[in-house]
A and B are shown apart, each in its own frame.
Chain A
Amino acid sequence: MTMGPAALLALLAVAAATQVAAASDRFVPADPDFVVANVRQVVPDEELRELIADWRSAPESDTTNVALATALVARARALREPGYFGRAEALLAPRAMKPGASATQRRLYAQVLQYRHAFPAAETLLDEIIRESPRDNDARVLRASIRLVRGDFAGARGDCAQLAASGGSHARIGFACLAEALAGVGQVDRALALLDSTPMENADPETRAYLLATRAELRERTHEIEGAIADYRAALMLAPRDDSIRSALADALAARGDTRAARELLAIDKPSIALLVRSAALAEGARRAEFAARAGSWLALETARGDALHFREAAMLALVNQDPASALAAARTNFEVQKELADVRVLARAARAARDVPALSALRQWLHETGYRDSVTEAILDEHMRS
């Protein structure tokens, strides 16, 4: 009668569907000026309206499709509105897989697939593009990022090296990506040296933010917490809307014991699920319960919808809710899909909380086989060995 991760997640799905689909009370506002919704971010702006008009006048044209899809994907990220990704997918899905689809259409579709965490499908599409055109650096950037997320550091290394050697705007991205790939196989010192020698001065703000955030993560993994915090702060100044950098900085501040600063950093308008679960972890009393409830409803909705995007956050929330079995089930499922620093750490924490010896041993084995180094994860595993 023991339940494995799949069974636990199936139970969660049933519970979520029942909870989410239930009716909520209807009401009719007495005040006619009652604001039903703010739609500023989702109403197409002038540029987007022009692109939609262009596309409607020539819906089969590669140019109008690419222009509109690019604009939609850019808005999805800049405005943090997932609906734009859905619209880009609706536009690209019928065309990108057809013979004769342009490389740009397929690259854009690969981005959409990546967003949906359909990593193998995205990688297959990018393999095809790179086979046709080995110098397609944009496709290499995408494939390298997917391989890094999946923990395929050897695979990413080839793409990163090609990018680093390509010169131009892709070179710096290539160096940072190469550093990530090297760090993934245990060569953290070499990775840091590579990043230190990469010139940042003339890079655009997004590239500098990426370089700084990469160095910050490596410093964090090697116990250099003050340097990591300084780099994360600098990166966040350059990319203030990047929640992954904000989350990483909050984690680093919390690890240093600066809980208050971490909480303040997370207190932004319309936080993402990544920020919400961290707020729940750092809050106390009623605030913790409130954050946990908000994050729980978000995840329940995703589960009911059949999405599978946020197992990492589901594991973090289960730890907040002191449910180690669910935390471990979610962390394991997440680790099958992605292996970034936060994924490694949440798996270690969940396995420790669940006192699951096979899970801790499997993680230790993975670290050993890949050469991956992280001071926090290693401390958790060492603590378990001692006990």
Chain B
Amino acid sequence: MKRLSAAFLFCLLATFSSPQPAFAHAAGTSYLILQLPAGDAPVAVRWDLSMQDIVWTVFVDADYDGNVTWQEVQNAKTALGAALLAQISVQRGGVPCALTVKDFALASRSEQNFLSVAMQADCPQGGLTAVGGGLFMSGDASQRVLLSAVRGEEQLTGVISAAAPTWSEPARASAWRSFARFIGEGVWHVLIGYDHIAFVLLLLLPSVMRPVDGKWRGATGLRQVAHDMVTIITAFTIAHSITLALAVTGTVKMPIQPIEVAIAASIAVAGLLNLLPRLSKLRLPLAFGFGLVHGFGFANALSEIDAAGSALLPLLAGFNVGVELAQLGIVALVLPLIYSMRTTRWYASAVLPLGSCALGMAGVVWLLQRV
């Protein structure tokens, strides 16, 4: 036991001098790639495994020289196939599928050659797919299987570990359910997005006023206010819907930071514009222009939500509707208040300029933080 004690003390000491062990590569990882067909057609399975993880289970290095050659892999094909089939199970609709090995090849990943095994799962029935089995994890708790599956136009991903040993295909949410769920996500996003609320408020504040001789005067009637409001908010909505759709579909890709900077800038500019009644005609084009920028911001927010199983169209439509509902909610809360105050002297001289200044300054602060 002396050698054991020495080894243990060395390990203990190592925890001090090197508390974060410096490994030569990341821990053992294999990759499963599935093609999930409609109906009960066979499932194509590709499993890429590191030789380092296989050699504990299958004897491959026949000449003991430490190097596994392609010839040695060929010679061990039968043993490899049997071992692999014993380590993986595929089910569809809760019924096990029959797996067969189709061929062996190599794939280059993380600067290593992985054994890439093509398999086919013949399933008695269709339905949702589940993948499990030992997956070479029983002897190594750090093993992970990174799974990617293609279902129609959808790309699904998952991680299988000793703690979560099975991957189950998520049910394809009904279009209506996705739509309803993402309405909630859209509403929630606006409510927690303080900069978006600030921008909408800046669009609202002057909507109950009219520029007369370079000064703000209270609008004469509800019809005039409603027309202004509908025009501005619609321009903003159309614009952010366009860029949200372009970004979510991957048609246009924008880096996050410049978008965040531009959103902060839009708030600062909108605040400034509210102080200059002579430039009020610019409100409409600016609402549209900045709407385009805010759409990319929404796309960033949307990308943070787990949307597995949701089709794109209901997701996008639901999120947009949610954003609009939240905006309308803000309008419904604020408009009656400012409409009732529009003809008072202090609305034009205090509420509008001071409110715009405060929100605009908040935009400047966010801008400086994000540059």
Contact = CB atoms under 8 A, between A and B. Distances in A.
Contact of B139 (A34, A87, A207): A87
Interface stretch (B91-99, B271-279, B299-307): B299-307
Nearest to A325: B257
Given A11-B303, A39-B61, A245-B17, A23 B46 contact: yes
Contacts of A302: 26
Interface string B348-371: 000000000000000000101111
A265 interface: no
B13 A36 contact: no
B131 to A, nearest CB: 13
A271 B51 CA distance: 20
Given A32-B71, A111-B11, A243 B53 contact: no
A276 to B, nearest CB: 10
Contact of B14 (A24, A38, A77, A93): A77
B175 interface: no
A212 B260 CA distance: 47
Interface string B331-347: 00000000000000000
A40 B66 contact: yes
A73 B11 contact: yes
Given A37-B68, A301-B29, A90 B20 contact: no
A241 to B, nearest CB: 9
Interface string B49-70: 0111101100011000011111
A77 B12 CA distance: 11
Interface string A134-151: 000010011011101100
Nearest to B109: A24
B106 A82 contact: no
Contacts of B55: 39, 42-43
Interface in A63-114: 66-67, 70-71, 73-74, 76-77, 80-83, 85-87, 89-90, 93, 104, 111, 114
Given A145-B16, A305-B144, A83 B28 contact: yes
Contacts of B300: 1, 3, 11
Contacts of B15: 111, 114, 141-142, 145-146
Nearest to A358: B369
B88 interface: no
Contact of B28 (A27, A82, A145): A82
A35 B141 contact: no
Given A87-B140, A306-B161, A356-B369, A243 B17 contact: no
Contact of B69 (A35, A83, A173, A340): A35
Nearest to B189: A1
11 contacts: A1-B195, A2-B370, A11-B304, A14-B303, A37-B113, A42-B56, A74-B10, A80-B23, A83-B53, A93-B141, A210-B13
Given A83-B142, A297-B110, A302-B26, 18 more contacts: A1-B196, A2-B260, A23-B46, A24-B109, A36-B69, A70-B7, A73-B11, A74-B11, A85-B142, A86-B28, A111-B11, A149-B19, A210-B17, A244-B20, A270-B24, A307-B26, A307-B27, A340-B19
